[in-house]
Amino acid sequence: MDGADDPEAQFCAYVAARGTALLRTSYLLTGEIHLAEDLLQTALTKTYLAWGRIRDKGALDGYVRQIMVNTLTDWWHRRWRRERPTAELPDAVLPDSAAATVERQRLWAQLEALPQRQRAVIVLRYYEDLSEAETARVLDCSVGTVKSQAHRALSTLRARLGDEAASEEVLRDL
Amino acid sequence: MNDLEQRIIRHLNDQVTSIQAPSDLAGRCLRRAEAVRRRRRATAVAGVAAAAAVVVAGVAVLAGLRPGGGPDRHTPPATHPAPTTTRLAPPFGVPDYPDPAPFQPWFRSLPQGELNETFVGLPHGPTFQYQGVTYRRPGPSGSVIPFGVTVQGLLAALLHGKPGVGRDFDTRVILLLPDGTFRTLATGRLGEATGRPGDGPHPGGVARVSADGTRVAYALIPAGSTTEVATVTAQDLRTGQRWTKTSGRYASVTGWSGNDVVVITPGPSSQLWAPDRGSTRTFGRRTSLTPAGPASDRLLSGAWDGYGRCRSVISSANFDTVYQGCDADEPMMISPDGRWVLLGAWKIRDLDTGSVLPFSIQPPGVGPLNELAPGDAWQAVRWDDERHMLFAFQDPLLPRGELGLVRCDVEGRCERASQP
């Protein structure tokens, strides 16, 4: 069989080309590298199982992103059903002598503390550089919802990082 | 785009610059996909067998409908599919559950709803999967409320039935039995703080089965009461013996600690009630307490303490805090003998020595567990004996209802407990 027509070869080529980029998105969605690898592996496996039904192979990134978001949402729902408490970040910051690193951890911690949906909007809009409409498609919601979620997330970040002036000072070193 | 947005973009990019996909990522996915296909094929074969069983069951139902031969009161009505009970091979053969009392089709009195979904249960007593029951609230966006899926609620469930007059709800405590049938244990009502008319059934929460599966406790306000003071009842499921105690307004039962019932009230305290001895001890701090095993003298506390959300292990004897964990290290479940506690960070803590053992059933993709979902995706967990835990997984790659059971000892040695 010609490799170009072999689904397995096509899939391997796709993963080789896009695996790192997708893992980075997964990491930003989950905030934890092992969980990110699990999430991506799950999403790619589902993608491969549906390979024959995916007609537009040029849209694979969007397909995988959508599976990642949906799967992560599902994991969060299961976490809730198990009655595990929702995470409330302790105030403690990991000790680090480098001020810039501490502040970077601070912003990262605040991003992690966002509700999962808002965090996904931030990652898709500002890391993946998707439009509002594209983000809405991935999240299976309206453009208005994307706008409101992004607005809330940014407002939350702004508020948590202190007032505007303090926030500017904090972020300037990043 | 404002400064904050631009800095977020830079920050996100900075965070991921060093991340590279593993070189064998595609291979792992392909192996996992192959495993999924194998299991789907196996499930399809099992489905044919199940369909045959349904035909047989249908014949039996039709036979039951013949003139003069209607379904007896021990038979679930046709609106509730017959349960699929999977008995697992040893070592899960703990003593059988007590024989169910006559079946009472209590849910016929419900307002419209659906009763037809399957859940995974890991109750104490024989391990089984059961054909659970859900109730869908009326209306186009009615949420589905499952019974019996919480691990600590186990078999007990509480039902808010049809609305009565004012706050006088028709409330029933039911017991979901291993064969999928139900028993009504008590009727009464709850205070207005716990539901609204027409809310439908509520799972777990107020009625709890002891860890050894022999007793149940619940709190209800007796019908006709005007004081909202609840009566707490403990009942031996083998002998039918009951103990009752009048508790505070809106009191509820959150679990068992050995033979003691854990009762909370909206007041400033939690209580440990020993029905056998008729004594009650009070925990001075407002907290929610969850049960430990039958021989344990320890309780899990869900108190907020300091920063963030923390949970403690406290001694049932004197309510001293034995261990406190916050965030990922918070305690999740205590072993039946009270020695070990499973922590949220996938560690096991030995409460006798204070030592912590790393515990992992990860990574997926390795060894006999390679078809399982990530460790965080387990559906249910319970202690199987003093040194072993049983995890139920529902692989996100597979259609709903397929699961894998893994049995692990406290040192992290795991084995498959059954094949889906």
| Same domain as B240, residue B306 | no
Coil/strand/helix, residue B28: helix
What φ, ψ does residue B282 adopt, rounded to 5°? Answer: -115, 135
Token pair of A96, please? Answer: 């680090």
A11, A18, A44: which to substitute to probe chain B, counting the most B Cβ within 10 Å? A44
Q: A123–B5: do the CB atoms touch at under 8 Å?
A: no
Contacts of A104 (CB under 8 A, 6+ apart): A174, B11, B14
Token pair of B403, please? Answer: 């699961």
Token pair of B166, please? Answer: 């004012």
Q: What is the pLDDT of residue A14?
A: 93
Q: What is the DSSP letter of B363?
A: P
Q: What is the pLDDT of residue B269?
A: 66
Q: How far is CA B334 from CA A136, B152, B293, B340, B381, in A?
A: 43, 11, 7, 6, 11
pLDDT digit string, tens, across residues A13-33: 999 999 999 999 998 988 877
As a whole number of angstroms, the distance between CA B293 and CA A22 comes to: 44
Of B397, B420, B238, A147, residue with least CA distance to B406: B420
Q: Do domains A1-86 and A89-174 have the same CATH topology?
A: no
| Same domain as B143, residue B126 | yes
Beta bridge partners of B405: B392, B418
Q: How far is CA A52 from CA A40, A69, B240, B398, in A?
A: 19, 22, 59, 18
- Give the whole-number percent of chain A exceeding pLDDT 90: 14
Q: What is the pLDDT of residue A44?
A: 93
Q: What is the pLDDT of residue B324?
A: 83
**Tokens 């050894």, residue located:** B212
| Chain A residue with minimum CA distance to B40 | A49
| Chain A residue with minimum CA distance to B371 | A42
Contacts of B379 in chain A (CB under 8 A): 78, 82
Residue B420 CB neighbours (<10 A): 19
pLDDT digit string, tens, across residues A105-138: 667 777 877 888 888 999 998 888 888 888 888 8
As a whole number of angstroms, the distance between CA A13 and CA A8 comes to: 9
Beta bridge partners of B356: B349
As a whole number of angstroms, the distance between CA B82 and CA B84 comes to: 7
H or E, element range at B25: helix B25-64
Q: B12–A127: do the CB atoms touch at under 8 Å?
A: yes
Q: Which CATH number goes with the domain that contains B308?
A: 2.40.10
Contacts of A17 (CB under 8 A, 6+ apart): none
As a whole number of angstroms, the distance between CA A81 and CA B154 comes to: 14
Q: Is there a domain that residue B261 lies in?
A: yes
Of B128, B125, B121, B123, residue with least CA distance to B94: B125
Q: What is the pLDDT of residue A165?
A: 40
B208, B376, B382: which to substitute to probe chain A, counting the most A Cβ within 10 Å? B376
| Same domain as B255, residue B320 | no
Q: Tell which of B358, B378, B406 closes a domain.
A: B358
Q: Using CB atoms, which residue from B4, B19, B378 is nearest to A20?
A: B19
A6, A10, A11, A37: which to substitute to probe chain B, counting the most B Cβ within 10 Å? A37
Q: What is the CATH number of domain A89-174?
A: 1.10.10.10
Contacts of A126 in chain B (CB under 8 A): 5, 8-9, 12
Q: Using CB atoms, which residue from B4, B26, B150 is nearest to A12?
A: B26
A77, A126, A147: which to substitute to probe chain B, counting the most B Cβ within 10 Å? A126
Q: Is there a domain that residue B303 lies in?
A: yes
| Same domain as B271, residue B162 | yes
Contact B189, B215 (CB under 8 A): no
Q: What ipTM score was computed for the predicted complex, to two decimals?
A: 0.76
Q: How close A25 comes to chain B (CA, Å)?
A: 8
Q: What is the pLDDT of residue A19?
A: 93
Contact B126, B96 (CB under 8 A): yes
What φ, ψ does residue B330 adopt, rounded to 5°? Answer: -65, 145
Bond preceding residue B363 cis, omega within 30 of 0: yes
Contacts of A95 (CB under 8 A, 6+ apart): none
pLDDT digit string, tens, across residues B124-162: 333 333 333 444 444 443 333 333 322 233 344 555 444
Q: What is the DSSP string of A50-109?
A: TGGG---GGGHHHHHHHHHHHHHHHHHHHHHHTTPPPP---S-----S-HHHHHHHHHHH
Q: Is there a domain that residue B11 lies in?
A: no
Contact A102, A110 (CB under 8 A): no
Q: How close A114 comes to chain B (CA, Å)?
A: 14
| Same domain as B323, residue B282 | no
As a whole number of angstroms, the distance between CA B387 and CA B373 comes to: 23
Token pair of A155, please? Answer: 């407002």
| Same domain as B109, residue B208 | yes
Contact B81, B58 (CB under 8 A): no
Q: A78–B379: do the CB atoms touch at under 8 Å?
A: yes
As a whole number of angstroms, the distance between CA B198 and CA B109 comes to: 12
Mean pLDDT score across all residues of chain A: 73
Count of structural domains, chain B = 2
**Cα A26 to the center of its chain, rounded Å:** 5
Contacts of A46 in chain B (CB under 8 A): 397
Contacts of B15 in chain A (CB under 8 A): 27-28, 108
Q: A15–B36: do the CB atoms touch at under 8 Å?
A: no
Per-residue pLDDT in tens (0 to 9) along chain B, 420 residues:
777 888 888 888 888 888 888 888 898 888 888 877 776 665 554 444 433 333 333 333 233 222 222 222 222 222 222 223 232 222 222 223 333 333 233 333 333 333 333 333 333 333 333 333 444 444 443 333 333 322 233 344 555 444 443 344 456 666 655 455 556 677 666 654 344 434 444 444 456 777 666 778 888 877 677 777 788 999 887 787 899 998 877 777 777 777 888 887 765 567 889 999 999 888 766 566 665 555 667 877 765 443 345 678 888 777 788 888 876 677 777 887 788 888 876 788 998 898 988 776 654 444 444 444 444 455 566 677 778 887 766 555 555 545 566 778 888 777 776 543
| Same domain as B277, residue B137 | yes
Could you report how far apart the first and last alpha carbons of chain B are, in Å? 52
Q: How far is CA B390 from CA A48, B151, B175, B380, in A?
A: 31, 11, 22, 8
pLDDT digit string, tens, across residues A60-100: 888 899 889 888 876 665 443 332 222 222 222 222 223 33
Coil/strand/helix, residue A127: helix
Q: Is there a domain that residue B31 lies in?
A: no
Q: Is there a domain that residue B113 lies in?
A: yes
| Same domain as B224, residue B194 | yes
| Same domain as B275, residue B146 | yes
Token pair of B286, please? Answer: 């407002």
| Chain A residue with minimum CA distance to B303 | A85
| Same domain as B241, residue B109 | yes
For B339-355, letters b (16+ CB in 10 Å) and e give bbbbbbebbbbebeeee
What φ, ψ does residue B270 adopt, rounded to 5°? Answer: -110, 160
| Same domain as B236, residue B128 | yes
Contact B248, B213 (CB under 8 A): no
Q: How close A75 comes to chain B (CA, Å)?
A: 6
Token pair of A51, please? Answer: 């390979």
Of B170, B274, B192, residue with least CA distance to B232: B274
**Cα A172 to the center of its chain, rounded Å:** 24
Q: What is the CATH number of domain A1-86?
A: 1.10.1740
- Boundaries of domain holding B228: 87-286
Token pair of B198, please? Answer: 């027409």
Q: Tell which of B254, B286, B318 closes a domain.
A: B286
Of B272, B112, B299, B327, residue with least CA distance to B200: B112
Token pair of B85, please? Answer: 């009970």
Q: Using CB atoms, which residue from A15, A34, A158 is nearest to B29?
A: A15
Q: What is the pLDDT of residue B332?
A: 76
What φ, ψ does residue B275 adopt, rounded to 5°? Answer: -60, -40
| Same domain as B166, residue B231 | yes
- Rg for chain A (alpha carbons), in Å? 18
**Cα A139 to the center of its chain, rounded Å:** 11
